[in-house]
Amino acid sequence: MANPKIVRITPGTRMSQAVVSNGIVFVAGQVAQNPGKTVGEQTSQITAQIDALLAAAGSHKTRLLSASIWLTDISTFAEMNAVWDGWVPEGMGPARATVEAKLAAPQYKVEIAVAASVGRPVVAAKPRAKAKAKAKRKAKRR
């Protein structure tokens, strides 16, 4: 088996911000570059950073496979989710884990790492279109 191509995005000595291999992009844990005072502000910044890294890797948030989220205070779970739910398209949530943990520096309240498949954005079928397609398939079987 041939060695798969590996592409490193924004590589550094210790880590790359993202790595692409075998059609999967792995985004390193992201913290807010300019940490706001709230988990909501930091989550907004982080999701924007993830959007940029996914785009650089040829992917999109509609192609998310998994997410790991670390919060310094689990009581801020709902605040983080309010931003997360507005960012992830409905019906396209990844497999996800959220835990409470101490982060690298006290100004950081949230850190998020994701993995996604490479490719163009996935467009969710409109409910009406799904119903029409289902009816059409059913009619063909008759």
pLDDT, one tens digit per residue, over 2-45 is: 788 999 999 999 999 999 999 999 999 999 999 989 999 999 99
The reply to whether 80 falls in a domain is yes
Over residues 61-81, the mean pLDDT reads 98
d(CA 13, CA 32): 20
Q: Classify residue 34: in a domain, yes or no.
A: yes
Residue 1 lies inside a defined structural domain of this protein: no
What's the rounded Cα separation, in Å, for the pair 99 and 35? 19
Residue 129 structural domain = 6-141
Give the mean pLDDT of the chain: 92
This prediction's pTM: 0.86
Domain of residue 40, CATH code: 3.30.1330.40
Residue 107 placed within a domain: yes
Q: Domain tally for the chain?
A: 1
Residue 142 vs residue 77, higher pLDDT: 77
Helices and strands (H, E) in the chain, number of each type? 3, 6
